Amino acid sequence: MPTREPGAAVGTGPEAFRAPVRLHGLWEAMGRPCAWLAGGSVRDRLLGRPSGDLDIAVAGNVESVAGIARRAARVLGAHAHLLGRPPHSVWRIVANDVEIELWPLDGLSPEDDARRRDFTCNALLWNLPSGPLVDPTEGASDIAARVLRAVSRSGLSDDPIRLLRAARFLADLKDFQLEEETSAWVRELAPTLAAAPRERVGRELAALLDADRPDRGVAALIRLGLLDPAAPPGCTTEPGWLSARLAAIRALTERGEHPVAGAVAVAGPAARRGILLRGLGAAQDDLAACFAWDRSVRSAAVRAGANLERLIATSDGSAADRRELIAMLGESFPAALAAAAAADAATGWRSGPWRRWWRLWHRHGSYLATVAGRGRGPGPDRWSPERPRARPPVASPRAVPGPWRGPLKKRRAALRTGRRAGI
């Protein structure tokens, strides 16, 4: 059985396996089971990256692992939930700062469990509590070389969602490159992704867009032929259009490169998803619904993608045209503005019009959205919110009769006289 201390391959020691929770203490609380930290949890610790998720492979079946899961949940102040059906059942525990999944090995050895995983960088198991590292596919060496390599072709064909994970890991793992044979397998198997459940496709696409370099992930989708099979049924994708907007997707993650940083912060993930939906030809609510994203995020993303070109065309238009779009988009406007400004900046930097538009939203956006909801168009005479009746204006010094060229005290006295008179 190939085993090694983790520091031998990538320069990190066993201390990498103590955060974010004390694994030794958790292992003690679970009753000292025969268990291994597995998958991305090991990979991230070898890379020195923070990880809030723990995958633990446990010897036994679903029933025997149930008690272990409940003891772990009790220590963390959470509850254990059984998900999936055998042989893919998993106990999940969601606590405040960590999410734990306990996978019953169901008679498999750690080596066999590693060989059925997707990529070698995830086919690693750390024997709790103190090692050693089980590495039958030389995944630690691939991590050191920053190579993303599939464990086997059958591992990809058995679950087409793993094809999308190739693009997601390229977006998430800094400096990793896809190995040539793995790249050929993904291209060959790409059409099988069309039969995968759209909800799972939506989760992978959302994770890709939330990664550090989503532009790398989207470029991989296009390059590996995954864009068409990832789209909702009946959509016509535009890979060329999307390729030209990769810089815009990156700008939406690095605020320093965006003309309106405030819009990016308010928009959240909806702006990036809007550009992807536009490239997938799925910027319609009924088409995007199959991805099962959060409803508010999906609605904002659909509107951002559907109105991208219109916002760019209106950015230099009249104030009335800009107010009309704010009223039409409502609460989706920040996502639409962030996406459009990023797409526009990718072809030529123009920050002025977008910042003016953002200031208009900040001052009057909620009022314009309310007016639109009442069926009143935001015309030129309806751009400012209704206010209570104002007090009579105070007259300026020059409007009050008196010797204004005299001493300062006389001018102040005259001003007080004007106020008392209600002028």
Answer whether 0.85 is exceeded by the pTM. Answer: no
Q: What span, in angstroms and rounded, lies between the C-alpha atoms of 312 and 220? A: 27
Look at residue 118 and give its three-state secondary structure. coil
What residues form DSSP beta bridges with 83? 90
Which tokens go with 97? 């700062």
For 303-329, the pLDDT digits (tens) are 999 999 999 999 888 888 888 898 899
Q: What angle do CA 119, 143, 175 make, to 5 degrees?
A: 100
Q: What span, in angstroms and rounded, lies between the C-alpha atoms of 148 and 177? A: 6
So what's the pLDDT on residue 316?
A: 86
Q: Of 68-77, 315-324, 362-371, 400-409, where does the model show the most confidence?
A: 68-77
Structure confidence at residue 85 as a pLDDT band (50, 70, 90): confident
Does position 117 have pLDDT exceeding 90, yes or no? yes
So what's the pLDDT on residue 338?
A: 95
Q: Which range has the worst mean pLDDT, 109-113, 233-237, 345-349, 378-382?
A: 378-382
Q: For all residues of the chain together, what is the average pLDDT? A: 84
Domains annotated for the chain, with CATH where assigned, are: 3-145 (3.30.460.10), 151-230 (1.10.110.30), 251-373 (no CATH), 395-423 (no CATH)
Among candidates 81, 8, 10, 75, which has minimal Cα distance to 46?
A: 10
Q: What span, in angstroms and rounded, lies between the C-alpha atoms of 191 and 392? A: 72
For 157-216, the pLDDT digits (tens) are 999 999 999 999 999 999 999 999 999 999 999 999 999 999 999 999 999 999 999 999
Does position 297 have pLDDT exceeding 70, yes or no? yes
Q: What span, in angstroms and rounded, lies between the C-alpha atoms of 164 and 156? A: 10
